Amino acid sequence: MSFASRLRQAREQAGFTQQDLAKKLGVTKNAISNYENGVSSPKWEILVEIFDILHVDPNFLYQDDFSSELAEAHVLTPQQSTLLAAFDQLNEEGQAKAVEYVEDLVLTGRYKKCPASGLDAKEA
């Protein structure tokens, strides 16, 4: 569900018409319609008022938008997935040691990628 459809859902659950919400926000009914149809997005100041008037958490309105953006931005390689799966099996102390070990590997420079080429330091 998108921001637009969650906004509509929150408005309806609060018992407001588009006109009611528009009046409380000091915008036009058309602006509310545009927000709910994904045509435009409210400015930050309006968003803050929406959260307050409709008594909604920003995470509720944006949760799917953030999730899809994160999914697109963070596609993991098989090696990264394996590393994360193993890391998640460690207790807190083990995770701290794993982070420390990886930081040491990077600091030695031997295993660090070269920023410009993306190659390993020993290959560059």
- E strands of 23-108, at which residues? none
- pLDDT at position 26 is 96
Q: Is the dihedral of CA 53, 57, 60, 66 positive or negative?
A: positive
Q: Are 77 and 71 in contact (CB under 8 A)?
A: no
What lies within 8 Å, CB to CB, of 62 at 6+ separation is 3, 6
In DSSP terms, 113 is beta-bridged to 120
Amino acid at residue number 62: Y
DSSP state of 119: S
Neighbours of 54 (CB within 10 A): 20
The domains located in the chain, with CATH, are 3-73 (1.10.260.40), 76-124 (no CATH)
pLDDT score for 81: 76
Q: And the tokens for 115? A: 């920023």
Render each residue's pLDDT in the chain as its tens digit; 124 residues: 688 888 999 999 999 999 999 999 999 999 999 999 999 989 989 988 998 999 888 777 776 654 454 445 556 677 887 888 888 899 999 999 999 998 899 898 888 887 655 555 555 4
Per-residue model confidence (pLDDT) at position 85: 83
Tokens of 79: 């090696």
Residue 38: count of CB within 10 angstroms of its CB:
12
- CA dist., res. 65 & res. 3, Å (int): 7
